[in-house]
Amino acid sequence: LQQKSVKCDGDLTLSRDQNTELVGKVEAMGQDMGALSNEKQNLVNERMALSKEVDELKRIRAAAEKREQELKTLMSKLQTMVDAGTLEVKVRNGLMLVQLSSDVVFPPGGTRIKPEAQEALQELAATLSQFQDRKFQVVGHSDVTPIHTARFPSNWELSTQRAIEVVRLLIEQGVPPQIISAAGAAEYDPLVDSDLPEDLTMNRRVEIVFVPKIDELPGFEHLGK
């Protein structure tokens, strides 16, 4: 009887050990499954992040292609004036713009548009009117030569008034006022940092800037929605 009791105790101990081992295996399997679940979720998150990056790259590429096409369209429509040297179409500081020399448009120190410049601006207005999903800003630029008159105490007033005069004429020629604005930069955005006469002439200019849409800029697309 004692032998049977000892045997039963041994069997019970073995059974307990096996049960403990089995519980340990079950717990380990649970941990493995948890780890696999976490790994799966991480992969899902990585895939979603990668998909967003791909979508962002596609959006940036599409915006760049649209700007390139707009530039080509603008160039083709204004080619006659570009060839004549009346204006330039260019990309500067990441902005697409039309550039006219102030000396071509205005008399020295004045803001009345020259008669010979009005025809060019009329043709420009006809072209800009075809881009009604865009906004434009006309920016006047002066050289470093100071001006001190009752009407223009500084180059800020002169450059801004020149931009306003161009805007008024463009609106008169059919550009919707809702898509165009005026600004002056005085002498603080020169093309050439020089006081040579030819460089001063280059810096005196009027630019019609294609204003970028906020949702076309990387990282800001959600603000445009």
* Structure confidence at residue 1 as a pLDDT band (50, 70, 90): low
The whole-angstrom separation of Cα 116 and Cα 120 is: 8
More confident residue, 185 or 93: 185
Token pair 């990387």: residue: 218
Mean pLDDT of 89-113: 91
pLDDT digits (tens, 9 = 90+) for 70-84: 778 777 878 888 888
The CATH homologous superfamily of the domain defined by 78-216: OmpA-like domain (3.30.1330.60)
Mean pLDDT of 16-27: 74
The pLDDT score that the predictor gives to residue 223 is 47
Lowest mean pLDDT among 19-28, 161-170, 213-222: 213-222
* Percentage of the chain lying above the pLDDT 90 cut: 43
Mean pLDDT of 38-59: 83
Residue 147 pLDDT greater than 60, yes or no: yes
Residue 115 pLDDT greater than 80, yes or no: yes
Domain residue spans of the chain: 1-73, 78-216
DSSP-derived secondary structure letter, 191? S
The pLDDT score that the predictor gives to residue 182 is 98
CA–chain centroid gap for 107, Å, is 35
Count the neighbouring beta carbons within 10 Å of the beta carbon of residue 133.
7
Which 3 state secondary structure label does DSSP give 111? coil
For residue 220, list its beta bridge partners. none
The pLDDT score that the predictor gives to residue 86 is 81
Count the neighbouring beta carbons within 10 Å of the beta carbon of residue 96.
19
pLDDT digits (tens, 9 = 90+) for 161-215: 999 999 999 999 999 999 999 999 999 999 999 989 999 999 999 999 998 876 6
The pLDDT score that the predictor gives to residue 5 is 59
Instruction: Specify whether the CB–CB gap between 121 and 166 falls below 8 A.
Output: yes
Instruction: Specify whether the CB–CB gap between 182 and 167 falls below 8 A.
Output: yes
Q: Is the pTM of this model over 0.75?
A: no
Instruction: Specify whether the CB–CB gap between 170 and 122 falls below 8 A.
Output: no
